[in-house]
Chain A
């Protein structure tokens, strides 16, 4: 299951909308081992394509090193599909290379409604998982090394 704060969910959708009809992509970093997405990092799509995405290699290096220095990992790796459903394509599956990450897909094919789904992709096998959106926004608890999830009360949406 992916548990994600509402503001982070909204930022992913907003990024996907902003880059439509090209695919948008990025990362949400979190403390290593916490499974809690915390720090939103939109990435360039080096391909600038409606059917393909690839992180810019230089930007990826910088972001991965920064995560390393902060003891973070890519908890969520997201990208958008702009004409197809929010389900991993064969391309997505063959290039999935972070076994610990939640792969989030957003479809922007419908202008008024975004499909937001999360998957694990391990050795070519896709497993969809539940997405739980919880209240939360910038404030206490965000970017703190560890602590009780203050400000992350559950709230069904």
Chain B
């Protein structure tokens, strides 16, 4: 068992085109580091110095991790993590 991570179209350049990849870790932060060891550069697109990037949504199963514990959110085998770029913009 592992943790399934679903990757949006715009980030599939880091996964060789794969829609989902697998990783391991006890927290979201560990999972992202594990993924980055095989998909170099992916972590940087999701995280900056202060935590998750503002315009990236990361979900553990069906909940936004911002409402859980952010990068410290515990994850476990069998979980699904979904990454979606926020849809945002505006007139100014």
A interface, CB within 8 angstroms of B:
23, 25, 27, 43, 47, 49-55, 57-58, 60-62, 64-65, 77, 79, 81-84, 88-89, 91-92, 95-100
Task: Say yes or no: B57 contacts A89, CB within 8 Å.
Answer: no
Chain B contact-residue range equals 20 to 34
Q: Which residues of B contact A (CB under 8 A)?
A: 8-10, 55, 57, 59, 62-64, 66, 82, 84-92
The smallest C-beta distance from B85 to any residue of chain A, in angstroms, reads: 3
- B-side contacts of A25, CB under 8 Å: 87
Q: Known contacts being A57-B57, A61-B82, is A91 close to B66, with CB within 8 Å?
A: no
Taking chain A's interface residues, is the majority helix, strand, or loop, or is none over half, making it mixed? mixed
Interface residue from B10, B62, B87, B92 paired with A89 (Cβ < 8 Å): B92
11 contacts between A and B (CB under 8 A): A23-B90, A25-B87, A54-B87, A55-B87, A57-B86, A81-B90, A88-B89, A89-B92, A95-B85, A95-B88, A98-B10
Given that A58-B64, A61-B59 are known contacts, is A51 also in contact with B9, CB under 8 Å in the complex? no
In terms of DSSP, what is the predominant structure of the interface of chain B?
Answer: mixed
> B54 to nearest A CB, angstroms?
10
Residues A91 and B90 in contact, CB atoms below 8 Å apart: yes
CB A31 to nearest CB in B, in angstroms, measures 16
Minimal beta-carbon separation of A89 from chain B (angstroms):
6
Chain B: minimal CB distance from A156 (Å):
30
Q: Which 8 A-B pairs have the closest CB atoms?
A: A97-B85, A52-B90, A92-B89, A81-B91, A54-B88, A55-B87, A51-B92, A84-B91
CB distance from B89 to the nearest CB of A (A): 4
Contact (Cβ within 8 A) B55 A64: no
Which A-chain residue is minimally distant from B57 (CB atoms)? A57
Q: How far is the CB of B38 from chain A (nearest CB, A)?
A: 23
